[in-house]
Amino acid sequence: MKIGFRVWILIIAIILSVLAIKPSFESGIVVKSVEANSEIFNSGLKTGEIIKSVNNVEIETKEEYANQIDKLLSDGIEKRIDITTDKGSYTLFTNKVPEITIENIPKTKIATGLDLRGGSRALVEADEKLSNEQLQDLIEVSRNRFNVYGLSDVQIKGITDLEGNKFMLVEVAGASPQDLQTLIGQQGKFEAKIANQTVFVGGKDINDVCRNDASCAAVTNCFDDAEGSFCNFAFTIFLTADAARKHADVTDKIEIDTSGQYLTERLFLYVDDEEVDSLLISSNLKGQLTSEISIQGSGQGATRDDALKDARANMNRLQTILITGSLPYKLNIVKLDSISPTLGGNFVYLILLAGAASIIVVSFIIFIRYRKIKASLALLMTSFSELLIILGFAALIKWNLDLPSIAGILATIGTGVDQQIVILDEATKEKTLSIKQRIKKALFVIVTAYLTSLFALLPLWWAAAGLFKGFAFTTILGITIGVLITRPAFAEIIGRIEN
């Protein structure tokens, strides 16, 4: 049978979906976070590296890693631990478990929600109405704070309801509700110290931080050496008059180093009393009463492009830290949930099993009713291909699939089967009309139903506040894929079978 245009579109969509999902067969465990200033951190291990072995013992799961570490350190005596990753080897001499968090390598690029991974979720609102820009600043500040406290797998996004109220949805894998409540409830104090003296704090002492303006915030230069590539950056912050006077008084008492370029003391940055960075102070600022301070730093990488990306990321991180105290919002937790990954995993297994069984049973019923094995196989193929395309698109845009999202996928597949039966029934009716006219009539019914469903789901999408947004999104995505790709392909296949 000759393959038509609509079927080719379906085939291309399936191929692209498989590439987007990209199954992984790599062995090892991935490093999710490394505690700052720990021995393993100072050895050079970075987030994202994949651990392959520990003391020449191959590691494929986080359970194997834990067992090997426990075996090495069971007697409490300091041991040499050699950790080999996909990027290099790192050696420790310790009697303590390396201060890292690890996870098994995801088998695909499909991201899962907290319902499936386990952890805590909080829906948070400020004590005043926020603009979109203020909400995004709050999200960036909050994300940075979670990073400072060493929590990994943090998902933070903004939500707006129908009344225009803006919320922040925070999901943290592996954290307890108490941990999440404590972090969100803290003030987020920022301090800058020189020679152990506070020179300015976030909010009241900082008038502005230059961002997204090349004239006062940019990567200044890059260079290479034997260890890799490095890029320096600088951006300007604007202090209040009182903060400028305090900065001048403190720096006036500090000596200039031997290079003549910097002072002998650094500017240390703290968030909630945790040191997050230290910066050099230019010698021309010694004792000067200035409201403009140039914050400098650097980034590094194996290549110049890597160093440039690292420098830009570090600059953005520091800019975010410096405005932390400038957001005077008291945060209130509207809803706080604890999620069990075991319950979510079992539920997903059961509903997917039920969904697959339903499609197979319906295909069997179609065969009994119409006595057409080809039509039954076509229905089976298009239903599963629709599921694959939805998952591929979700993986492409990095949408986190949670339980409401999976429920939306199953609802979409059920609707799809109904619509395919409409096409099949129209195609096998008495042949007073041509097959083309009968298929066209069926597709008109399907498009009408699609528009009705779409307009019914859009308010749910806008008003869901994140909790049922996954259901609305995957349902809208699924029925749209069905109308644009799978239904036309199925109609073309049935049309050729009936000809």
The three-state DSSP-derived secondary structure of 202-228 is: CCCCEEEECCCCCCCEEEEEEEEECCE
Amino acid, res. 358: S
Q: What is the pLDDT of residue 136?
A: 82
Mark whether 397 and 491 lie in a shared domain.
yes
Residue 85's alpha-carbon distances to 30, 67, 89, 92, in angstroms, are 9, 18, 6, 14
CB burial readout 304-330, b (16+ within 10 A) else e? eeebbebbeebbbbbbbbbbbbbbebe
259 inside domain: yes
Mark whether 85 and 133 lie in a shared domain.
no
Mark whether 322 and 361 lie in a shared domain.
no
Number of helices followed by number of strands (H, E) in the chain: 14, 18
Rounded-to-integer distance, Cα 397 and Cα 405, Å: 14
Amino acid, res. 436: K
Q: What is the pLDDT of residue 177?
A: 67
Mark whether 331 and 355 lie in a shared domain.
no
Strands 331-339, 119-126: pairing kind: antiparallel
Q: What is the pLDDT of residue 159?
A: 82
Closest CA to 332 of 130, 480, 102, 51: 130
Task: Judge whether 417 and 366 are in contact, CB under 8 Å.
Answer: no
Mark whether 92 and 220 lie in a shared domain.
no
Q: What is the pLDDT of residue 23?
A: 72
CB burial readout 363-396, b (16+ within 10 A) else e? beebbeebebeebbebbbbbbebbbbbbbbbbbe
353 inside domain: yes
425 inside domain: yes
Q: What is the pLDDT of residue 115?
A: 67
Mean pLDDT of each 10-residue bin along the chain, 499 residues long: 82 91 79 72 81 90 86 84 88 84 78 70 83 81 64 73 81 66 64 88 79 81 85 88 89 88 86 75 84 81 83 76 61 76 58 74 78 82 88 84 80 84 79 78 86 82 63 87 90 82
Closest CA to 82 of 50, 55, 44: 55
Q: What is the pLDDT of residue 183?
A: 65
Mark whether 254 and 156 lie in a shared domain.
yes
109 inside domain: no
* DSSP E strands, 59-99: 79-85, 89-94
Q: What is the pLDDT of residue 354?
A: 72
Task: Judge whether 299 and 312 are in contact, CB under 8 Å.
Answer: yes
Task: Single out the residue in 305, 322, 339 at which a domain terminates.
Answer: 339
Q: What is the pLDDT of residue 343?
A: 52
**pLDDT mean across residues, the chain:** 80
Total structural domains within the chain: 3
Task: Judge whether 318 and 269 are in contact, CB under 8 Å.
Answer: yes
Alpha helices in 223-328 (DSSP H): 241-251, 304-322
Task: Single out the residue in 56, 79, 104 at which a domain terminates.
Answer: 104
What is the H or E stretch that residue 269 is in?
A: strand 267-271
Supply the pTM of this predicted model.
0.58
Residue 342: CB atoms within 10 Å: 8
Mark whether 335 and 442 lie in a shared domain.
no
Mark whether 15 and 34 lie in a shared domain.
no
Q: Domain of 75: which CATH number?
A: 2.30.42.10
Mark whether 325 and 194 lie in a shared domain.
yes
- Cβ-Cβ contacts under 8 Å for 243 (sequence gap 6 or more): 199, 200, 205, 206, 291
- For 176, the 3-state DSSP assignment is coil
Domain residues for 429? 5-23+341-498
Mark whether 175 and 283 lie in a shared domain.
yes
247 inside domain: yes
Closest CA to 64 of 26, 28, 109: 28
Token pair for residue 58? 């191959």
Cross-sheet strand order for the sheet of 197-201: 197-201, 190-194, 267-271, 274-279
- Cβ-Cβ contacts under 8 Å for 373 (sequence gap 6 or more): 367
To the nearest 10°, report the CA torsion of 262, 274, 326, 123: 150
85 inside domain: yes
123 inside domain: yes
152 inside domain: yes
Q: What is the pLDDT of residue 324?
A: 56
CB burial readout 262-281, b (16+ within 10 A) else e? bbebebbbbbbeeebbebbb
Mark whether 271 and 365 lie in a shared domain.
no
Q: What angle do CA 302, 308, 311 make, to 5 degrees?
A: 105
Mark whether 93 and 240 lie in a shared domain.
no
Task: Judge whether 144 and 324 are in contact, CB under 8 Å.
Answer: yes
Task: Single out the residue in 104, 129, 150 at which a domain terminates.
Answer: 104
